[in-house]
Amino acid sequence: MSQVLPGDATLVHDLIGIGFGPSNVAMAIAIREHNAQVADGQEADAQEAVTARFFEQQPRFGWHRGMLIDDATMQVSFLKDLVTLRNPASEFSFLCYLQSKGRLIDFINHKNLFPLRVEFHDYFEWSAAKVDDLVSYGHEVVGVAPVVRDGAVDHLEVTVRSGEGLEVHRARNLVLGTGLRPLLPEGVERGDRVWHNSELLAKVDALEGTSPSRFVVVGAGQSAAENVAYLHRRFPGAEVCAVFTRYGYSPADDSGFANRIFDPAAVDDYFTAPGSVKRRLMDYHGNTNYSVVDIDLIDDLYRQMYREKVLGTERLRFLNVSRLTDVKETPDRVRATVTSLVTGEETLLDADVVVFATGYGSADPLGLLGEVADRCLRDDEGRVRVERDYRIATEPGLPCGIYLQGGTEHTHGITSSLLSNTAIRVGEILESLLDRGLKSASDEARTVADGTGGSAR
Ligand SMILES: Cc1cc2nc3c(=O)[nH]c(=O)nc-3n(C[C@H](O)[C@H](O)[C@H](O)COP(=O)(O)OP(=O)(O)OC[C@H]3O[C@@H](n4cnc5c(N)ncnc54)[C@H](O)[C@@H]3O)c2cc1C
């Protein structure tokens, strides 16, 4: 095992954040704004400043970099940025970002609520840079352990792996914002020619100059359609075969009434609703987010397919009501077997690459928590129990708060892993931390072992 470094041995943070994607960047900003108000004496109830540290495994900020296709746009209004719904006057808003880049007036003339994903990534990076004193990049959290005093957990030790070795950091509360994991169908292994769409831009440059002749893209969601359009545009000599079990791409429902499922109030409704109503709501409104495609992109692809039919140069093929049933990689090709669900007929496609745009899933939120997970409560279906304030329900002997950003779809609804509610959610988590009392168990816990004393603030 690597050498264990002491970390900041005497300090017990109020909060350690695991992951520094948009959710925890928003958390860091909420803390920064709260602490500034405390310093200015603006907090009406004389609340305390919060000490926090975030750990991110990537070497620098990155939001789904592998899918930053240059013409792809956001699926959420820019007003649902990291702060605006919580604090419309925040200096961390997308509008302040635009102002700082000298593009505010140009953006307004554009009359568009949905910026390019590349631009929103730049906004996220700009925001993350403004709070980078709170984060350690290149630091992967690999474990959490309880430190018990007088029969109760006093604080948590968080083990972090960096280029230097392992470090141990301490906190009274955690916020997990570790995001989603790419999903491949069972039995499919990634390889040089078998990709998940999350790796698209990291891998595609290597094909430049190789004159690829065929791509197969599996899936019928937004990422699948974006991959089809991108590969078709980028490699004008290649055929692109889209394979999916649906009859055709289905449009995302972003109409006004349906969009209310992403509202802050919808979290209250969903959280309160009985299980059967929760399931019904997901059935009704899953098509606002899952396995659906922006109607403009659907129309573009259809127009392109039809134009090619007319011109007799068909490079876009849609193998609908079909399933990819086998994939075999050889050093210079990959062979995909596609089976029609209508006739059972098999089509063999020799391709340069098969891209699986088969979605993402939540990692088990308790996976990182080691024996702390044993003190977290689960519901009848074995899912982690989460309170309205996003805190995992725990045994009484675990007073530390473990908050989830993501992995709460079963309790808080469809916005769990999305950006729509991020600004509000981090405000609620911060409020919960403050309401529960940062120092609740013992003041001494804020410094440990060596008796140097003094608060970290
Ligand atoms: C291509 C794509 C486009 C999307 N577009 C939209 C959109 O337009 N609108 C929308 O609402 N949602 C969108 N989403 C959904 C997406 O989940 C959110 O946009 C957003 O990424 C959620 O932020 P997050 O911080 O919770 O998770 P992530 O962005 O996934 O960030 C999690 C971070 O945690 C880090 N991490 C994980 N484990 C550890 C560990 N053990 N130690 C340290 N660090 C760790 C990861 O490296 C990562 O940086 C999109 C998703 C994808 C894949």
Ligand 1 atom at minimum distance from 415 CA: 11
Q: What angle do CA 132, 135, 137 make, to 5 degrees?
A: 100
pLDDT value, residue 80: 98
Residue 89, pLDDT above cutoff 80: yes
* Ligand 1 binding pocket includes 372 (Cβ within 6 Å): no
Residue 182 has pLDDT above 90, yes or no: yes
Q: What is the pLDDT of residue 337?
A: 98
Q: What 8-state DSSP symbol labels residue 359?
A: -
Give the model confidence (pLDDT) of 344-398 as tens digits: 999 999 999 999 999 999 888 899 999 999 999 999 999 999 999 999 999 988 9
Reply yes or no on whether the pLDDT at 1 is more than 90.
Answer: no
Residue 418 Cα: closest atom of ligand 1 = 11
User: What is d(CA 152, CA 154) in angstroms, rounded to the nearest whole number?
Assistant: 6
Residue 47 scores a pLDDT above 90: no
| DSSP reduced 3-state for 284 | helix
The pLDDT value given to residue 451? 32
pLDDT of 447 reads 38
Query: Would you say the CB of residue 227 lies under 6 angstroms from ligand 1?
Result: no
Query: Is any ligand 1 atom within 6 A of the Cβ of residue 141?
Result: yes
Ligand 1 mean position, distance from CA 294 (Å): 20
Report the separation in Å between the CA atom of 181 and the middle of ligand 1, taken as the mean of its atom positions. 9
| Ligand 1 centre distance from Cα of residue 106 (Å) | 28
For atom 28 of ligand 1, the residue with the nearest CA is 179
Q: Is the CB of 23 under 6 A from ligand 1?
A: yes
Q: Please give the distance, rounded to the nearest whole angstrom, from the Cα atom of residue 26 to the centre of ligand 1.
A: 12
Identify which of 25, 53, 57, 369 to mutate to test ligand 1's pocket (most ligand atoms within 8 A of the CB): 57
- Give the rounded distance of the alpha carbon of 324 from its chain centre: 27
Give residue 22 CA to ligand 1 midpoint distance, Å. 7
* Residue 279 pLDDT > 80: yes
341 pLDDT more than 60? yes
**pLDDT tens profile 429-450:** 999 999 998 765 444 333 333 3
pLDDT band at 4 (very low <50, low <70, confident <90, very high): low
DSSP string for residues in 228-273: HHHHHHH-TT-EEEEE-SSSS--B----HHHHGGGSHHHHHHHHHS
Structure tokens at 72: 């792809």
Across the range 391-415, mean pLDDT stands at 96
| Pocket of ligand 1 contains residue 180 by CB under 6 Å | yes
pLDDT (mean) for 316-324: 98
C-alpha of residue 205 to centroid of ligand 1, in Å: 23
pLDDT digits 0-9 by tens, 9-36: 679 999 999 999 999 999 999 999 999 9
**Quick one: pLDDT band at residue 197, thresholds 50, 70, 90?**
very high
What does pTM read for this prediction?
0.94
**3-class secondary-structure state, position 351:** strand
CA–CA separation, 455 vs 434, rounded Å? 16
- Between CA 10 and CA 170 the distance in angstroms is 9
CB-neighbour burial class of residue 152 (10 A; exposed 0-12, middle 13-18, buried 19+): middle
Q: Quote the pLDDT of residue 6.
A: 55
Mean pLDDT of 60-77: 98
Residue 176 and residue 392 in contact, taking contact as beta carbons nearer than 8 Å: no
pLDDT at 440 (0 to 100): 52
CA-proximal residue: ligand 1, atom 51 (nearest): 64
- pLDDT at site 46: 59
Per-residue pLDDT of 210-241, as tens digits, reads: 999 999 999 999 999 999 999 999 999 999 99
Quote the ligand 1 centre to 447 CA distance (angstroms): 33
Question: What value does the mean pLDDT of the chain take?
Answer: 93
